[in-house]
């Protein structure tokens, strides 16, 4: 089983406010590693085909949870940064975390629409 890469730990959401603008921007613009994104996509596709083993299902749950947490921190960092730059911008709608994980289309091919698990 491929374990998810252990990225540099991100600060808890409560500690994000203490970070500099540059650090917040780095978190807000960060991406899942290509390997993690590819593995998560493969697990999602195999799950849609009911082709995962028990250990792969556990891996999918762990990776999807980590990806959701990653997305929430990115979003929170972006909101904090926007609030610092323009107090009115902090109240504008932001990108949802549901844009993180590609979903498989009904025809069997993954498409570019995104949603969470």
Strand-pair partners of 102: 114
Q: Which pair of structure tokens corresponds to residue 70?
A: 């990653």
User: In this predicted structure, what is the pLDDT of residue 4?
Assistant: 56
Q: How many domains does the chain fold into?
A: 1
Average pLDDT of the chain to the nearest whole number: 78
Tokens for 12?
């808890």
- Check residue 112 and give its pLDDT: 37
Instruction: Say if 2 falls within a structural domain.
Output: no
Domain of residue 32 covers 13-114
Largest CA distance in the chain: 48
In a domain, 46, yes or no: yes
Rounded to the nearest angstrom, the gap between the alpha carbon of residue 66 and the centroid of all alpha carbons in its chain is 7
pTM to 2 decimal places: 0.64
CA angle 73, 78, 82 (to 5 degrees): 150
Residue 3 falls within a domain, yes or no? no
pLDDT band at 1, cuts 50/70/90? low
* Within a domain: 4: no
């Amino acid at each position: 089983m491929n374990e998810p890469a252990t990225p540099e730990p991100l600060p808890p959401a409560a500690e994000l406010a203490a970070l500099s603008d540059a650090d917040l921007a780095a978190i807000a613009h960060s991406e899942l590693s290509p390997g993690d994104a590819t593995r998560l996509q493969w697990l999602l596709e195999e799950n849609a085909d009911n082709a995962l083993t028990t250990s792969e299902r556990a891996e999918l749950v762990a990776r999807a949870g980590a990806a959701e947490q990653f997305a929430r921190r990115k979003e929170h960092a972006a909101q904090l940064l926007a609030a610092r730059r323009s107090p009115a911008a902090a109240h504008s709608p932001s990108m949802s975390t549901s844009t993180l994980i590609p979903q498989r289309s009904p025809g069997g091919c993954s498409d570019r629409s995104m949603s969470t698990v």
